[in-house]
């Protein structure tokens, strides 16, 4: 079997092999999808087709109990989502503000017209401070709040409890609270 035919019919799984593939035959490696398959029959005719192979060699293998395999990487878009949740993805001290920067997204909901606001409350019981309301943007599978900046009063230090709220015409959500230590 020639190196080119081997590379066309097998995936390059390891980095050293992938590097070798790239050096020997440009474009000879594949990370998924379909691959060209050339077949020569006994009478000398040649046909070319496409064959697909899963990126995961265990894909399609039934589970131990005999039930069909489930592709956990697939995104299901035709089933309705029963509930949405607001995920606070990041909240951290940002000396450049100076204040707290947060980022969040709404999981299970894609819509326009919503707004996000971050609120920071000092652990010592002082006054809460909030970001400006920002327009959320719909993404492929979530609604993104983006970066939210809470500018803290001068001289603020200590622990601050941060939450994000999302409000639209049909939905009101609040994230879990995250504590940020301000030096």
Question: Do 90 and 141 lie in a common domain?
Answer: yes
- The answer to whether residues 104 and 158 belong to one domain is yes
Let me know whether 23 and 105 are in one domain.
no
Flag whether 134 is in a domain.
Answer: yes
Tokens at residue 137, please?
A: 């943007």
Q: Would residue 99 count as lying in a domain?
A: yes
The boundaries of the domain holding residue 158 are 85-182
In a shared domain, residues 44 and 89: no
Domain CATH for 96: 2.60.40.10
pLDDT of residue 98: 94
Model pLDDT, residue 67? 54
Counting as low any pLDDT under 50, the low residues of the chain are 1-41, 46-59, 70, 72, 74-79
Q: Does any domain span residue 57?
A: no
Structurally, how many domains does the chain consist of?
2
pLDDT at position 47: 43
158 and 98 in a common domain: yes
Is residue 162 domain-shared with residue 99, that is, in the same domain? yes
Sign (positive or negative) of CA dihedral 104, 106, 111, 113: negative
Q: Is the residue at 77 inside a domain?
A: no
Check whether residue 93 and residue 174 sit in a common domain.
yes
């Amino acid at each position: 079997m020639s190196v080119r035919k081997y590379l066309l019919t097998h995936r390059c799984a390891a980095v050293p092999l992938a590097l070798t593939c790239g050096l020997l035959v440009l474009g000879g490696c594949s990370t998924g999808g379909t691959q060209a398959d050339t077949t020569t029959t006994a009478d000398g005719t040649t046909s070319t087709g496409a064959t697909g192979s899963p990126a995961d060699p265990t894909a399609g293998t039934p589970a131990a109990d005999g039930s069909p395999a489930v592709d956990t990487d697939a995104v299901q878009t035709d089933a309705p989502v029963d509930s949405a949740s607001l995920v606070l993805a990041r909240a951290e001290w940002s000396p450049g503000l100076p204040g707290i920067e947060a980022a969040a997204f709404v999981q299970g909901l894609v819509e326009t017209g919503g707004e996000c606001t971050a609120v920071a409350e000092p652990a010592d019981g002082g006054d809460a401070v909030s970001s400006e309301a920002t327009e959320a943007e719909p993404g492929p599978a979530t609604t993104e709040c983006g970066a939210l900046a809470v500018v803290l009063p001068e001289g603020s230090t200590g622990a601050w409890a941060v939450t994000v709220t999302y409000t639209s015409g049909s939905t009101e959500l609040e994230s879990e609270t995250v504590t940020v230590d301000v030096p």
